[in-house]
Amino acid sequence: MNQRQWGSWPTSTRCTSSSRRSLDVSVRRQAEVLEYLIEENRVLKEQLKGRRINLSDDQRRRLAAKGKRIGRRLLMQVATIVTPDTILRWHRRLIAAKWTYPSKRVGRPGLMKEIRALIIRFARENNSWGYCRIEGALPNVGHRVAPSTIRNVLQAHGIKPAPDRPTSWRALLKIHWNLIAATDFLTIDVWTATGLKTYYVLFMIELNTRRVHLAGITRHPNDMWMGHAAERVARFPKGRKFLICDGDANFRRRFKLVLEAAGIKLIKTPYRVGCKNSAEG
């Protein structure tokens, strides 16, 4: 029995040595493959030259799963296409997504975007409209909404109730559209027998209809001529109470006095504010 035991030791030893040699060769081969892959990553990273790579969600998930197992220290040694912090952040998001469940909302579904937009538009374009007035207007466009819902929508967008709602410049113009007109000069150059001469053309425009009226044309818009032009402006469409003009020095004192006598107030826009006499100002 002892002879059989002693005779079996050389065979066992030879098997163990052979297994170790095979394992060492396998480890060396894996190390060589890993070194090659690292070097290949370095070459690819050099080819990118700082350009950003657009990865899909599935690619981020695969890199995050593998990178977490390696750890930050080894990731720092591997020439990755992204930083180790980015890979670990992707893994945290992957874990968070696993425990994120779709919320089961209780109660009625959210208000449609189209209806919400209509409510906001009605409130902003009609400052005197309250909740009930907006409720009455919505069926005209095919929607029925309770006043409480209208109140919640307006409060969510910072729109105050009707009595405290400020009036915008657009709304103010809309209310007094037919009472306002604007006037200005344009110049034209005309060839005459004595050479090229500049003429000044005074015109007026109705804001509600955009209709333009010619008030006069002259080479010298002096105070006397401007007084006669103001008389022609005052005879244009009745009902105008306000006339907007810029700070041109040609709008002289006589021009203003004639208009005031006709019941029209001359309003001059501030300097360097060219949009004040437009509907968008």
What pTM value is reported for the model?
A: 0.42
Q: Which fold has domain 175-268?
A: Nucleotidyltransferase; domain 5 (3.30.420)
139 and 119 Cβ atoms separated by less than 8 Å? no
pLDDT of 217 higher than 50: yes
Whether 89 shows a pLDDT value over 60: the answer reads: yes
Q: What is the DSSP string of 161-191?
A: PGGGPPPPHHHHHHHTGGGEEEEEEEEEEEE
In DSSP terms, 197 is beta-bridged to: 190
Residue with tokens 């180790």: 84
Q: What is the pLDDT of residue 200?
A: 93
d(CA 78, CA 183): 74
Measured CA to CA in angstroms, residue 271 lies from 160, 184, 246, 275, 276 at distances of 33, 14, 8, 11, 10
CA–CA dist 256, 168 (Å, integer)? 28
Closest CA to 251 of 185, 201, 199: 185
pLDDT digits (tens, 9 = 90+) for 189-208: 888 888 889 999 999 998 88
Residue pair 232/216 in contact (Cβ under 8 Å)? The answer is yes
Helix (H, G, I), strand (E, B), or coil: what is residue 207? coil
Residue 1 DSSP symbol: -
Look at residue 1 and tell me whether its pLDDT is greater than 50.
no
pLDDT value, residue 281: 40
The string of pLDDT tens digits covering residues 66-87 is 888 888 888 887 756 778 888 8
Burial class (CB in 10 A: 0-12, 13-18, 19+), 231: middle
